[in-house]
Homo-oligomer: A and B are copies of this chain.
Amino acid sequence: MSNIVNIEYNNLLELFKEILRQNGLKYTKQREILLKCLYNNNDHFTPENLYLHIKSIYPELNLGIATVYRTLNLLEDAGIVTSLSFGAQGKKYELANKPHHDHMICKICGGITEFQNALIEQKQLDIAKEHDFTLTGHLMQLYGICVECSKKGNK
């Protein structure tokens, strides 16, 4: 457990508290724990995943699923988390301040693999420049079938 990690978490927490303060909102146990769980589990959560995870670790909190949805929407508006869409199967959330990466999404199990590629990033800049387009962000997702699902057989 490094100090660096804790310093990063404290920065994130301060940012969150500051945003709450500026909007006349309150810092509650539920919001605190939700952010902490997102931070400690470097993963992509569905709202239900997160709800069950927190219920199992903090049963005394008596958390409601509606609070998870409300807090995730709040965090997304604040730019602290980002979401990935899965049609009617909902969304998955992750912290927004992670180093930049893109996603490979398995159509069968819904699993997400992260990747990073400097060449593609560079090429995006080139393309934007060619079109005199001022680039501010991008979204790239690859869809297919992950190793595990491929092994399980071709149905």
- The answer to whether B139 touches A115 (Cβ under 8 A) is no
Stretch at the interface among A23-31, A33-41, A118-126: A118-126
Determine chain A's interface SS by DSSP, over half rule.
strand
A82 to chain B, nearest CB (A): 9
- The answer to whether A135 touches B143 (Cβ under 8 A) is yes
Q: Count of chain A residues with Cβ under 8 Å from any Cβ of B?
A: 37
**Interface 1/0 per residue, A136-152 and B, CB below 8 Å:** 11111111111100100
The residues of B that contact A85 with a CB separation of less than 8 Å are 85-87
A135 to chain B, nearest CB (A): 4
- The answer to whether B141 touches A139 (Cβ under 8 A) is yes
